[in-house]
A = this chain, B = another copy of it.
Amino acid sequence: MQDLLTIGDLSVRSGVAPSALRYYERLGLIRADRTGGNQRRYARSELRRVAFIRISQQVGVSLDEIRAALDSLPDARTPSPQDWAGLSASWRGRLDERIRLLTKLRDDLDGCIGCGCLSLQHCTLSNPGDALAGEGPGARLMLARPAESPA
């Protein structure tokens, strides 16, 4: 068990395609040493970074924000468990908010299933009036935009 991983090793162990790993490197999310022949060799600690990236994506964070978060790690030493715990904790609020919104949507949907309304004028799900629009692009939605987007 050598302590440096090839891109194939990291791909298999993380479940992330080699092309995605190279993409993450271009964005500055992970890093690799190079062999004399210019091949990537990853420290085992990169596994943790990749794990953090995938988990963060689950939470609904963009790669750009993930990069910012990872940049806050100390670069002098290998991040400690506490470092990782801190980063993970910082997503906690977002996750709570996502769960809260989705749960509200479910409850509202249950109410609407009862009445069959789906009315944009009256249903609690929707837009509380017409006095929207004209607040710049994307600023006029009541329902949060599908945070879903990527991938």
In the complex the two chains form, what is the Cα distance from A96 to B105 in whole Å? 10
Roughly how many angstroms separate A125 CA and B151 CA in the complex, as a whole number? 20
In the bound complex, how far is the Cα of B84 from the Cα of A112, in angstroms?
9
- Size band of the interface chain A makes with B: 35 or more
- Please report the C-alpha to C-alpha distance between residue A101 and residue B150 in the assembled complex, in whole angstroms: 18
Residues of B near A55 (CB, < 8 A) are: 105, 109, 118, 125, 143
- Contact bitstring A139-151, B, C-beta under 8 A = 1, else 0: 0111111111111
A144 touches B58 (CB 8 A): yes
A50 within 8 A of B: yes
Find chain B residues with CB under 8 A from A148 CB.
57, 60, 146-151
